[in-house]
Amino acid sequence: MKKKLIVGLVSSMLLTTAAPMLDSVVQAEESLEELQKEKEKIENRSEELGSVIEETESEMNSLELERQELEANIQSLQITIQELTEDVEKQEGLLSEKNKEIDKLNEEIANLTEAIELRNEKLMTQARATQTKWNPTNIIHMIISAEDISDLISRMGVITTLVSANQTVIEDQRRDQEALVEAESKVQLEKEQAETLLAEVKANREELTVQQAELDDEIMYVAERYQMNSAEKDQFVSEQFELAQETMALNADIKAEEERIAEEKRLEEERIAEEKRQEALRIAEEKRLEEERIAREKREEEERIAREERLAEEKAKEEAAKAAAEEEAAVLAAQKRKEEAAQKDQAEKEASERAAAERRREEQRQEEEAAAQVRAEEKARAEERAREKARAEERAREKARAEAQAEAERKAAAAAKAQQEKEQAQASTSSNSGWLRPASGYFSSSYGYRTHPVTGARGSFHNGLDIAGGGPIRATRAGTVAAASYSGTYGYRVIIDHGDGYRTLYAHMQPGLNVSVGQRVSQGQQLGIMGTTGRSTGVHLHFIVYKNGRTVNPIDYIR
Question: What is the rounded CA–CA span in Å between residue 39 and residue 252?
Answer: 11
241-270 average pLDDT score: 81
> Are 53 and 296 a contacting pair, CB within 8 Å?
no
Tell me: pLDDT of 443 over 70: yes
Residue type present at position 463: N
Give the model's pLDDT for residue 539.
94
Per-residue pLDDT, 2: 46
Interhelix angle 2-132/149-325, nearest 10 degrees: 180
> pLDDT, tens digit, for every residue of 270-318?
888 888 888 888 888 888 888 888 888 888 888 888 888 888 778 877 7
**Buried b / exposed e along 70-102 (16+ C-beta atoms within 10 A):** beeebeebeeebeebbebbeebeebbeebeeeb
Residue of 205, 6, 256, 13 lying closest to 92 (CA atoms): 205
On the question of pLDDT at 98 being above 90, the answer is no
User: Mean pLDDT over all residues of the chain?
Assistant: 78
pLDDT in tens, 22-64: 455 556 667 778 877 887 878 777 777 777 777 777 777 877 7
Output 200 or 143, whichever has higher pLDDT: 200
Of the pLDDT bands very low, low, confident and very high (cuts 50, 70, 90), residue 145 is low
Question: 534: helix, coil or strand?
Answer: coil
**pLDDT class of 506 with cuts at 50, 70, 90:** very high
Residue 419: pLDDT band (50, 70, 90) is low
Q: Which of 114-118, 188-192, 232-236, 262-266 is predicted most confidently?
A: 262-266
Q: Which is nearest to 477 in space by CA: 456, 444, 507, 502?
A: 502
Residue 154: its pLDDT value, please?
A: 66
Would you state the pLDDT for residue 440? 92
| pLDDT band at 449; cut points 50, 70, 90 | confident
pLDDT given for residue 132 in this prediction? 47
pLDDT category at 459 given cuts 50, 70, 90 is: low
Mean pLDDT of 324-338: 75
The DSSP secondary-structure symbol of 449 reads E
Distance spanning both ends of the chain, measured CA to CA? 88
Q: What percent of the chain has pLDDT over 90?
A: 17
Q: Which domains does the chain have, with CATH numbers?
A: 60-228 (1.10.287.1490), 430-558 (2.70.70.10)
Do 509 and 491 contact (CB within 8 A), yes or no? yes
Q: What residues are paired with 550 via a beta bridge?
A: 547
